[in-house]
Amino acid sequence: MSVALELNSTHDPQRRSWVVSANTVGGDFPIQNLPFAVFRRRARPDTFRGGVAIGDQIVDLAALTQAAIFSGEAGAAARAGAQSTLNALMQLGPSGAHALRQALSDALSEGSAMQSVLQPCLVPQLDAEYTLPARIGDYTDFFASIHHATAVGRLFRPDNPLLPNYQWVPIGYHGRSSSIGVSGQQFHRPRGQRLPPGQTLPVVGPSARVDYELELGIFVSTGNDLGDPIPIHEAEQHIFGMCILNDWSARDLQAWEYQPLGPFLAKNFATTISPWIITLEALAPFRVPFTRRAEDPEPLDYLSSPANRAGGAIDIRIEAWLQTALMRERGADAQRLSYSSFRHSYWTVAQLLTHHTVNGCNLQPGDLLGTGTQSGPMPAEAGSLLELSVGGAHPVQVGAEENRTFLQDGDRVILKAWCERPGTVRIGFGEAAGQMLPARAG
């Protein structure tokens, strides 16, 4: 069994931390989580370095390394994680991350003799700012929700919403890594070419149909050599962890440009991820069987394994919130638009990675895979405004005075994710927030 699927002392629901805030019921970062990010102190000439969340604090891996608190594999992993990106830590594979996570879990536990030496390595999260957790060489976005694929297909192909290849092959496209930003990202309304309704000639100008997409991201750990596919029973050994991802989309640009080669300018202007990466090991208690409807075909052999069938799916709860400019002006809280769970995904993380490499494609540490919009089977579980408004035909009520078919200038979208089930401690992903500004002058 892989490290990612095993339960061990780091998952013990009775384990508590001497960092008091980590014991708050319902918090995102209890001692059972210990996710990774890259941060620095605000308003200081500090360099960015790796850190691990515990309650409302961050374990500064650079300070921990300087103090030589850990040795052996855990010490080596701490040194790798103390750099300005987590790529070196990812390169070590799951054993390195596990050794560091186990050492931190023990050192942060109530009664640990290491409290006095580890306490000076803590930085309040309120004092921190974040950057991308890894140097992302390549970014691939998938289309892994059959509910999203069917709902969107129904808008454009009412008689044939789901294309015949969907149930056989994980569909994806290569995105743009240079425009990926961390939570708090702001971007201008994208401009591009589109065909206005009822017209025969395209125009160039600001998109009128900017949308959010409720997704998760998957960070690659150890890669593979060019020409060497990763079999599904080894796939999770090549995954470091997961984050929240918002693949902002300009639907009118997309509708005009996507045939025959797929998304381009409609997708590459901005992508927002959460700063925290939750390791697959931390997600182990929330595994569920990978199943499909009885009428659906079973995956081909290269996309199937006993472990994937038994626990390849993960019950990650995800939701989208919207705060408009008017809501902020009046001090109103954001409104939840939709919610779903990654357990509904038509493809697992192992299947996505395996399919990505079946042709010999080489992945590298820090590469990012997106799951695609994660919509659930019910209307309220739609992961985009395109679905919630049925292509813009039915505006979504926002607060008492506003509605939305697509996003307006000043809108701020906040995506959240967490895991919980009876007998476990809830763990969270933090959030991925982004805001659209008015288009730049053309």
Are both 38 and 116 inside the same structural domain? yes
CA-based angle 179:181:187, to the nearest 5?
A: 70
Phi, psi (rounded to 5 degrees) for 245: -140, 135
Alpha helices in 258-370 (DSSP H): 306-311, 325-329, 349-357
Q: What percent of the chain has pLDDT over 70?
A: 99
Higher pLDDT among residues 227 and 159, named by residue: 227
Note whether 71 and 182 are same-domain residues: no
* Tens-place pLDDT, residues 176-231: 999 999 999 999 999 999 999 889 999 999 999 999 999 999 999 999 999 999 99
CATH number at residue 63: 2.30.30.230
Domain assignment present for 442: no
**Which of 113, 131, 149 is the last residue in one of the domains?**
131
Residue 103 DSSP one-character state:
H
Residues 168 and 226 in one domain: yes
Match 């515990």 to its residue by tokens: 54
pLDDT level of residue 2 (50, 70, 90 thresholds): low
d(C-alpha 170, C-alpha 172), whole Å:
7
CA distances from 188 to 322, 324, 390, 442 (A): 17, 15, 25, 12
The verdict on 281 and 171 lying in the same domain is yes
CB 140 within 8 A of CB 369: yes
Mean pLDDT over residues 116-143, rounded?
97
Angle subtended at Cα 395 by Cα 389 and Cα 399, rounded to the nearest 5 degrees:
120
Instruction: Look up residue 12 and give its two tokens.
Output: 């013990």
Residue 174 annotated among the catalytic residues of the structure: no
239 forms beta bridges with 220
Confidence at residue 6, expressed as pLDDT on a 0 to 100 scale: 83
Of 131, 156, 190, which one is at a domain's C-terminal end? 131
Answer yes or no: do 163 and 242 share one domain.
yes
CATH number assigned to the domain comprising residue 424? 3.90.850.10
pLDDT, tens digit, 9 for 90 and up, residues 74-125: 999 999 999 999 999 999 999 999 999 999 999 999 999 999 999 999 999 9
Mind listing the pLDDT tens digit for each residue in 14-32? 999 999 999 999 999 999 9
Position 244 pLDDT exceeds 70? yes
Within 220-284, residue ranges assigned H as helices are 251-257
Whether residue 1 is predicted with pLDDT greater than 50 in this model: the reply is: no
- How far, in Å, CA of 322 to CA of 337, rounded? 7
Query: CA-based angle 137:81:273, to the nearest 5?
Result: 50
* Strand ranges, E, within 14-152: 36-41, 49-54, 57-60, 122-124, 128-131, 139-142
Q: Please compute the mean of the pLDDT values over residues 418-440 and round it to a whole number.
A: 97
Backbone angles phi, psi at 11, to 5 degrees: -95, -5
Show which of 131, 165, 186 is a domain's final residue: 131
Q: Distance between alpha carbon 215 and the CA centroid of its chain, in Å?
A: 6
In percent, the amount of the chain with pLDDT more than 90 equals: 92
Q: Are residues 263 and 197 in the same domain?
A: yes
- Average the pLDDT over 152-168 and give the result: 89
Of 241, 283, 290, the closest CA to residue 424 belongs to: 283
State whether 164 and 118 are in the same domain.
no
Which residue, among 267, 260, 310, has the nearest Cα to 287 in the 3D structure? Answer: 310
What is the extent of the structural domain holding 354?
A: 139-437
Cα–Cα dist 316/236, whole Å: 17
* 353-381: pLDDT as tens digits: 999 999 999 999 999 999 999 999 999 99
- Nearest CA-CA partner of 52 in 123, 135, 112, 126: 123
Q: From CA 22, how far away is CA 28, in angstroms rounded?
A: 8
Q: What does pLDDT average to over the chain?
A: 96
Give a yes or no: residue 316 inside a domain: yes
One-letter amino acid of 310: A
Kindly give the interhelix angle for 94-108 and 72-81, rounded to the nearest 10 degrees: 100
Residues 222 and 315 occupy one common structural domain: yes
Residues in the chain: 442
User: Same structural domain for residues 332 and 261?
Assistant: yes
Among the listed residues 147, 148, 238, 344, the single catalytic one is 148
Residue 311 lies inside a defined structural domain of this protein:
yes
In this structure, the answer to whether residues 279 and 370 fall within a common structural domain is: yes
Is 283 in the same domain as 402?
A: yes
Phi, psi values for residue 40, rounded to 5°: -150, 165
- Cα angle: 262, vertex 264, 265; to 5 degrees: 145
Indicate if 114 and 199 belong to the same structural domain.
no
Q: What's the pLDDT at 157?
A: 85
What distance in Å separates the CA atoms of residue 333 and residue 322, rounded to the nearest whole number?
9
| Total of domains in the chain | 2
* Entry pTM: 0.96
Residues 6+ apart with CB under 8 A from 294: none
Specify if 20 maps to a domain: yes
Q: pLDDT value at position 216?
A: 98
Task: Count CB neighbours of 297 within 10 A.
Answer: 8
How far, in Å, are 162, 258, 275 from residue 212 at the CA level? Answer: 22, 18, 18
